[in-house]
Every structure is written in structure tokens, then in C-alpha cells.
Amino acid sequence: MRICVYGAASPTIDPEYKEKVEQMGKEMVARGHSLVFGGGGHGLMGAAARGVRSAGGYIFGVIPKFFKEEEIEAIFDECDELHQPDTMRERKQMMEDNADAFMIVPGGIGTFEEFFEILTLKQLCRHNKPIAIYNLKGYYNELLHAIEKATEKNFIRGGCLDLFCVSEDLNELFAYI
């Protein structure tokens, strides 16, 4: 299975997050999965890719051309395939199209946006791919609480929380996927 991992690109993240996500990448390969990701070499994106690479797994990276041209972010240089579309929208579409499942690890605005887009598409029945949130150290607790509150107030349809799995247990997340 091709698992798309969405996560932080920042190089200044607590090393404990990086270690756990790198281990997740190794576990992906041990279970026969490959990686689809945003092509970044730092942060949790880079950690996932390093884990997959160290275990001999396949890596499909997608990073917009302007990231390299404008030196926005380091690119993971050991991808088996590296695609460089023109825009962020094209990047996300390529990642979605080439994934069988999604794993969200801790991240910032870009990660939130990617998660909410694939969640919205699933709620609208545009795909039925598994979405799993690796909730390391309770990172997503407040965001999940906000979704629960919005659901209680009828801003989000009931059943939204059933469209994805949240856990800090990788075995549970991989079983769900």
C-alpha cells in the first residue's frame, strides 16, 4: 500500500517527534508499504523518508519547483521518484492520486490544511481511503476537541469523527489502514 504522510517540515522540531516518525517509516516498510510525501528533507517529512529509506522502502516525493528555485526547503535527495509540479495545488493532487491511505503526523498550517482537505473530500464521498492521525504526545488533542465542539454545535456533520482513526499506537493505526 502507498501511504501518504503529511507532517511538519520544520528543522527545529523536538528530536523525540523525529525519532518516533522515523521509526514509523521503518515500520511502514516492515509491513510492506511505501511512502508518498511532500519531498522535504527536514522535520517530520524528512524523518519519515529517512525511516523508509533506511529500511529499504520505496519513496515517491512531490515538491513544487519553486521550493528548490527559491531555496524554501531542503529536498530529500533519496527519493525513488521525485516529481516537481509548478504549484502547491498540483503537489497535493499528485500526492492524493498516488496514495492508498493517509497518515497525519504532527505538523503546522500546511499539515492542517492537507488533513482538512482530504477529510472534506472523504466526507463528500470523493474518496474512501483510510485517514489515520498519529497523535504523538497528544499533539492533536486540542484540534480534535475543536472538531468535537463544532460537531456538537452542528457546524460539522455528525459522524465526521468516524471518518478517521486517531491513536498514539502505531499498531492500531496500521491495523486501521
pLDDT digits (tens, 9 = 90+) for 143-164: 999 999 999 999 998 899 999 9
pLDDT digits (tens, 9 = 90+) for 42-55: 999 999 999 999 99
Polymer length in residues for the chain: 177
Closest by Cα among 147, 171, 134, 159 to 4: 134
Residues 6+ apart with CB under 8 A from 154: none
Residue 61's pLDDT band (boundaries 50, 70, 90)?
very high
Taking the CA atoms of residue 8, residue 20, residue 42 and residue 9 in that order, the dihedral angle to the nearest 10 degrees is 0
| Helix H or strand E encompassing 66 | helix 65-69
Closest by Cα among 122, 133, 134, 123 to 158: 123
Q: What pTM was estimated for this model as a whole?
A: 0.96
pLDDT digits (tens, 9 = 90+) for 10-30: 999 999 999 999 999 999 999
